[in-house]
């Protein structure tokens, strides 16, 4: 498929990907769960990531049964839950980060959205300035209520494709996406890894054959060199566990944690530009 230029009317996360493409680089997408290390500390951390070079922010909604997350993100989410973080705190975090002008999406398991109320969640997310949702455990064929609620408000719908997805499944998934497509190129739970996956490039190629949407890759990137490698074939590099680990490693010194977070973000941002 010939990839058309991105129309000027693109909004949400897609606009950040379009700007990055105009600069001849991949976008850097950064993740932290809301309420970690606490609500205000999480907002400060996410704003630090924006200032240091993240193009899109993912705000995680902490959940008690995070079956797709590795131990690092599980530990951060558990800390947030133990401190009483609620969906209202997630939306408050989104509002604070989105106020910077950076597209801000929520990454969430589906159960909390159902409990909150799908249409209510979509309305409150839009009111907070959020760009949309990434739904790792919800597939388009089981998402009619979310798709309708998102379409009514122009919210991004980011579904996942993986190396095990069939060609038909990839096409069905990308057809339902808006904003970007999330290619999870590691089989198993999330987490930073020493090397990137040789499954990622072929998955991006298969995904691009079905859509003109940008494709972001999440596979455990934790260094600028790894970011550069992924940015050589993907439209976006998605980083989560490395950011969380940085804050966990500086749990006793918030200012040092923010400084380390800024340094990591700058290294990753340089990596996506180097490619």
- CA-to-CA distance for 12 and 24, rounded, in angstroms? 19
Quote the tokens at residue 176.
């339902």
Provide φ and ψ at 238, rounded to 5°.
-105, 125
Q: Which of 22, 55, 58, 266 is catalytic?
A: 58
Closest among 131, 127, 139, 195 to 165, alpha carbons compared: 139
Q: What is the mean pLDDT of the segment spanning 244-257?
A: 94
pLDDT in tens, 63-72: 876 666 678 8
pLDDT tens-digit profile of 32-61?
999 999 999 999 999 999 999 999 999 999
Is pLDDT at 9 greater than 60 in this prediction?
A: no
145 is catalytic: no
- Reply yes or no on whether 58 is catalytic: yes
What is the pLDDT of the chain when averaged over all its residues?
91
pTM of the model: 0.92
Q: pLDDT at residue 189 above 50?
A: no
- pLDDT of 174 strictly over 60: yes
Share of the chain above pLDDT 90, in %: 82
User: Which of 22, 51, 65, 69 is an active site residue?
Assistant: 69
Edge-to-edge strand list for the sheet holding 156-158: 156-158, 132-134, 104-107, 56-60, 27-33, 236-239, 215-218, 181-184, 160-161
Residue 194 pLDDT greater than 50, yes or no:
no
Domains recognised in the chain with CATH numbers = 13-274 (3.20.20.70)
Residues near 132 by beta carbon (within 8 Å), at least 6 away in sequence: 12, 13, 105, 106, 125, 150, 155, 156, 157, 158, 178, 179
**Maximum Cα–Cα distance across the chain:** 51
Length of the chain as a residue count = 275
pLDDT score, position 5: 37
Q: What is the pLDDT of residue 162?
A: 93
User: What pLDDT shows up at residue 77?
Assistant: 82
């Amino acid at each position: 498929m010939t990839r058309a230029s991105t129309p000027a009317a693109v909004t949400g996360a897609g606009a950040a990907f379009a700007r990055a493409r105009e600069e001849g680089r991949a976008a850097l997408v950064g993740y932290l769960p809301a309420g970690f290390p606490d609500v205000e500390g999480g907002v400060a951390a996410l704003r630090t990531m924006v200032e240091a070079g993240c193009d899109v922010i993912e705000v995680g909604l902490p959940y008690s049964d995070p079956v797709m997350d590795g131990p690092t993100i599980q530990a951060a989410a558990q800390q947030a839950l133990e401190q009483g973080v609620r969906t209202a705190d997630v939306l408050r975090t989104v509002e604070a980060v989105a106020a910077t002008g950076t597209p801000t999406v929520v990454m969430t398991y589906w159960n909390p959205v159902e409990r909150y109320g799908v249409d209510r969640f979509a309305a409150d997310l839009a009111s907070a300035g959020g760009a949309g949702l990434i739904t790792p455990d919800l597939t388009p064929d089981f998402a009619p209520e979310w798709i309708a609620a998102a379409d009514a408000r122009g919210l991004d719908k980011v579904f996942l494709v993986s190396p095990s997805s069939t060609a038909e499944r990839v096409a069905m998934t990308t057809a339902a996406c808006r904003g970007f497509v999330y290619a999870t190129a590691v089989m198993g739970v999330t987490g930073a890894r020493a090397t990137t996956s040789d499954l990622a490039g072929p998955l991006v190629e298969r995904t691009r054959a079905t859509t003109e949407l940008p494709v972001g890759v999440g596979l455990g990137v934790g260094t600028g060199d790894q970011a550069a490698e992924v940015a050589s074939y993907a439209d976006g590099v998605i980083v989560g566990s490395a950011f969380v680990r940085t804050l966990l490693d500086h749990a006793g010194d918030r200012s040092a944690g923010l400084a380390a977070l800024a340094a990591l973000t700058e290294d990753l941002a340089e990596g996506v530009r180097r490619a």
